[in-house]
Chains A and B, each alone.
Chain A
Amino acid sequence: MEFPLYDVLIVGGGGAGLRAAIAAAETDPGLKILIVSKVYPMRSHTVSAEGGAAAALRPEDSWENHAFDTVKGSDYISDQFVVETFVREAPVELIQLEHWGCPWSRDPDGKISARPFGGMTTWRTCFAADKTGFHMLHTLFQTSLKYDRIERLDETFVTSLLVEDGRCVGIAALNQRSGVMSAVRAKTVILTTGGNGRIYAFSTNGNICTGDGMALAYRAGVPLKDMEMVQFHPTGLPSTGILITEAVRGEGGYLTNNKGERFLKDYVPSKMELGPRDIISRAMVTEFEAGRGFAGPYGNYMHLDVRHLFMRELGLDYVGIDIVHDPIPVRPVEHYMMGGIDCDITGATSLPGLFTAGECANVGLNGANRLGSNSLSECLVFGAAAGRAAAHQAQEAKAPTSNPVDALLKDETRRVEKKYLESRQGTEKLAEIRVEMQRSMDEHVGVFRTAEGLKEEEKLIAGFRQRFARLKIEDRSHVFNTELTAALELDYMLELAEVMTASAINRKESRGAHARRDFPKRNDEHYLANQIATHVPGGKPKLEFRPVRITHWQPQARTY
Chain B
Amino acid sequence: MAETVEVTVQRYNPETDSAPRLQTYEVPYKDDWVVLDAILYIKDHLDATLSYRWSCRMGICGSCGMNVDGHPKLTCSAHLREYRRGFTVEPLSNFPVIRDLVVDIDDFMAKLKSVKPWIVRELEQPLGDGEYLQSNNQIDHYRQFSQCINCMLCYAACPVYGMEPEFLGPAAIALARRYNLDSRDEGTVERVNVLAASEGIWECSCIGECSVACPKGVDPAKAIQQTKFDTVNGAIMSTMLMPFGNRR
Contact = CB atoms under 8 A, between A and B. Distances in A.
Contact of A320 (B32, B49, B117, B119): B32
Contact of B44 (A98, A143, A431): A431
A111 B16 contact: no
B56 to A, nearest CB: 4
Interface stretch (A338-346, A473-481, A519-527): A473-481
A47 B151 CA distance: 13
Interface string A36-51: 0001101111011000
A262 interface: no
B91 to A, nearest CB: 11
A481 B61 CA distance: 21
A100 interface: yes
B59 interface: yes
A239 B112 CA distance: 36
A294 B132 CA distance: 48
Interface string B147-167: 111100000000000000000
B246 interface: no
B154 to A, nearest CB: 15
Contacts of A315: 58-59
Contacts of B139: 103, 105-106
Question: What does DSSP make chain A's interface, helix, strand, loop or mixed?
Answer: loop
Interface string B42-54: 0111001101111
Contacts of A48: 56, 58, 60-61
A134 B57 contact: no
Nearest to B124: A99
A430 interface: yes
A206 B52 contact: no
B48 A110 contact: no
B66 interface: no
A376 to B, nearest CB: 14
B136 A96 contact: no
Contacts of B134: 106, 110
Interface in B28-81: 32, 43-45, 48-49, 51-63, 77, 79
B146 interface: yes
Interface string A403-443: 00000000000000000000000000111000100000000
B16 A99 contact: no
A240 B118 CA distance: 35
Given A43-B55, A45-B55, A142-B118, A239 B130 contact: no
B61 A43 contact: yes
A318 B61 contact: no
A135 B146 contact: yes
Interface residues of A, number: 60
B214 interface: no
A309 interface: no
A412 to B, nearest CB: 22
B232 interface: no
B56 A206 contact: yes
B15 A240 contact: no
A112 B131 contact: yes
B14 interface: yes
Contacts of A95: 127, 130-131
Interface hub of A131, A206, A474 (most chain B Cβ within 10 A): A206
A324 B42 CA distance: 36
Contact of B48 (A98, A111, A129, A430): A430
B118 A145 contact: yes
Contacts of A131: 60, 147
A221 interface: no
29 contacts: A40-B150, A43-B53, A45-B55, A95-B131, A98-B132, A99-B119, A99-B124, A99-B184, A101-B119, A103-B139, A103-B146, A104-B131, A106-B135, A110-B134, A111-B131, A112-B131, A138-B146, A138-B148, A142-B118, A146-B116, A154-B109, A206-B61, A240-B57, A319-B32, A429-B48, A431-B43, A477-B49, A479-B13, A481-B51
Interface of A: 39-40, 42-45, 47-48, 92, 95-96, 98-101, 103-106, 108-112, 129, 131, 134-135, 138, 142-143, 145-146, 154, 177, 206-208, 239-240, 242-243, 315, 318-320, 429-431, 435, 473-475, 477-483
Interface of B: 13-16, 32, 43-45, 48-49, 51-63, 77, 79, 98-100, 102, 104-105, 109, 112-113, 116-119, 124-125, 127, 130-136, 139, 142-143, 146-150, 175, 179, 182, 184-185
Given A101-B179, A473-B48, A480-B51, 18 more contacts: A39-B63, A43-B62, A45-B55, A48-B56, A99-B127, A100-B118, A106-B133, A134-B149, A143-B119, A145-B118, A146-B116, A146-B118, A239-B32, A318-B79, A477-B49, A478-B15, A480-B102, A482-B43
